[in-house]
Structure 1
C-alpha cells in the first residue's frame, strides 16, 4: 500500500472513532463536553500513538537500544500527562469535575494517574500495531524472496534439461549422418519441431497436456530413427480431458531415461508408455527392459532434476514410484493437475 493511501486510511479510521465517541457522549445533550473530552484529548492520545509508532520504536528498536526505547516511552507517557492536565485546566468545569452537579473536584494526582493509564494503553496499542505491520512486511519480503529463489532454481533446472536433451539428440543425428542414412533429414525436422516447443512453450508456467504429449511423440519418433532395426515402443494415451495444464518438460526425463538405458529392440519387452487423465489426475507410466551395455555417467541428471521440479511445483500433489528390478525398470507418476 502506497503512503498517500496509508495516510488516508489512518485518517478515516481515527476520524470514525472520534465521531463515534462524540456521538455516544453527546446523547444527553452535552455536545460541548463530548467534543472537549473525545476530540481534544482524543487528538492528544492519537499523537502519543504516532510518536511511539513513527519515531520511538523505529529509532530505538531497530538499533536494539532497548533501554533508550523504554526511557523514551516513559517520558512520553509522563510528559503527555502534564500536557493533558494543562489542557484540562482550561476546561476544568468539564474535565476536572464530576458528579451530578459537578461538585466533586478531581485532584491533580487523581487525574494524572488516569492520563498515565490512558497513555500507556495507546503506547501498547501503537507497539502492537508496529509489531503486526512489521511482521506482515517481513512475511511479504520473505515470500517474495522464496518466490524469487524458486523461479531462479526452476530456471536453473530447465537450463540443465535443454542442453542435456540437445546433446543426446545431436549425437543421434550425427550417428545417422555418419552412416549416410536417408533418415537424417527427417531427424533434423523432428529436432526442429522439438526445439521450437522447448523455446516457445517451455518458458510458460504451464502448458496444455496435449502439447506436452505431442512433444513426447516427436521425441519418440526422433529416437526411433536412429535404430537400424525395428524399434518397439508402445504409447497408450487415454483420458477425459487433454486440455488440462501441466508444467512443461516434466514427463520427458522418464521417456528419455527409458531410451538411454533401456532396450527398444526387443518385441517381447517394448518400451511401454501409458498416459491416463482421469478426474483432474494424471497417471503416467514408463516401463522398459534394462540394457546391460547402455550406461551413462550422467544418468541421474534428468531424473534428479525432474524430482526437484516436482517438489517445487507440486508439493504434496504427486506420487512418484520407481521400481528397479534386475531386468525391468518401471516409473510411475501420479500427479494432481
Structure 2
C-alpha cells in the first residue's frame, strides 16, 4: 500500500472513530463539551499512537534494542499521563468532573485512568505495526520466491536449447557425413524446432497443440537420421483444443528414448502414447534398451525436466520411471 493511500485510510478511520465518540458524548451533554473532549482525547491519544507507531517501534526494533524499546514505551505511557492531566486542568470544568454532584476527579484516579487509556493506544499501534510488517515481509518474501523461481526456470530452460541443439547437430552431421539427400530436410526440421524453442516457448504456458507439433517435428527429425528406419508408434487421444502446458516438458522423455533405446527394431518400436482429458494429460514412453549403449546416464535432460516439473506443477503431477532389464518406461500424469 502506498504512503498516500495509507495516510488517507488512517485519517478516515480516526475521523469515523472520533465522530462516533462525539456523537455518544453529545447525547448526554452539550455539543461544546463533546467537542472539547473530542479535541482533548483525540489529539492526545492519536499523538501517543503515532509516536509509538512511527518513531519508537521502528527506532528500536529495527536495531534489535528490545530493552530500550520497552523502556521507551513505558516512559511514553507514564509521561503521557502527566501531560494529559496538565491539559485536563485547562478544561477542568469539563474533564475533571465525575458528575453534577460527585465532585472533581483527583490526580491519582485521573492519572491511573490516563495510563490505562494510553496503554490501550500503545498496544493498538504495536499490534498494527507488527501485523503491517508481517504482511509487508510476506509480500517481499513471495516476491523474492517468484524472482528466484523465474531465475531458476530461466536457467533450466537455457540448458535445454544447447542440450537439444548439440544432439540434433550430431544427427545432421551424421546425415551430411553419409551424403544423405535427407540432410536439407533435416536442417529445415531443425530450423522449425529451434524457431519454436526460441520464439514461441517463452511463455510460462503454451498451447498444447503447438507442443505436440514440436514433439512430432522432433520425431520426424530422428526418422531422417535413421534413414526412415526408425520405428515409432505415436498415438494422441483426446482434444488438445484450448489446453495449455509448460513448454518443452515432454521432449526430454522422447529424446531419452532415442538416445538410450533401440529405434531401428520394427518388432519393438518406441511407443509414445498421449491421452488428453478435460483437465489432465497422461503421457507414456516405452522403449527397448540398447545393450550396446555405454552411456548409462540420462544426462541433464531428465534431471532438468524433473526440476521444472517440481517448480511448475507442485503437487500436480505424477512421474513414474520403470527401468527394467530390457525395457525402459516413463509415465507422466499432469494436471493441465
Q: TM-score range by the shorter chain?
A: over 0.9
Query: Match for residue 45 of structure 1?
Result: 45
Deviation, structure 1 residue 30: 2.7
Q: In the alignment, is the contact (CA less than 8 A) between 2:61 and 2:69 conserved in 1?
A: yes
Q: What CA distance in whole angstroms lies between the structure 2 residues aligned with 1:274 and 1:171?
A: 27
Q: What CA distance in whole angstroms lies between the structure 2 residues aligned with 1:192 and 1:298?
A: 28
Q: What CA distance in whole angstroms lies between the structure 2 residues aligned with 1:272 and 1:130?
A: 61
Deviation, structure 1 residue 298: 5.5
Structure 1 residues 44-53 or 220-229, which shifts more?
Answer: 220-229
Query: Match for residue 269 of structure 2?
Result: 270
Question: For residues 1-337 of structure 1, what are the structure 2 equivalents within 5 Å?
Answer: 1-99=1-99, 101-228=100-227, 230-296=229-295, 299-337=298-336
Q: What CA distance in whole angstroms lies between the structure 1 residues aligned with 2:294 and 2:141?
A: 43
Structure 1 residues 33-42 or 134-143, which shifts more?
Answer: 33-42
TM-score, normalization: structure 2? 0.97
In structure 1, runs of 5+ residues without a counterpart are: none
Deviation, structure 1 residue 65: 1.4
| Deviation string, structure 1 residues 261-312 (Cα, Å, up to 9, x no partner) | 1111111211111111112100111111111123436523111110000000
Secondary structure of the residue aligned to 2:126 is helix
Deviation, structure 1 residue 10: 0.9
Secondary structure of the residue aligned to 1:97 is coil
| Deviation string, structure 1 residues 10-48 (Cα, Å, up to 9, x no partner) | 111111111111112212353223222233212210110
Structure 1 residues 190-199 or 277-286, which shifts more?
Answer: 277-286
TM-score, normalization: structure 1? 0.97
CA RMSD of aligned residues (A): 1.3
In structure 2, runs of 5+ residues without a counterpart are: none
Q: What CA distance in whole angstroms lies between the structure 2 residues aligned with 1:102 and 1:195?
A: 93
| Deviation string, structure 1 residues 305-324 (Cα, Å, up to 9, x no partner) | 10000000000000001111
Q: What CA distance in whole angstroms lies between the structure 2 residues aligned with 1:26 and 1:227?
A: 94
Secondary structure of the residue aligned to 1:120 is helix
Q: In the alignment, is the contact (CA less than 8 A) between 1:242 and 1:277 conserved in 2?
A: no
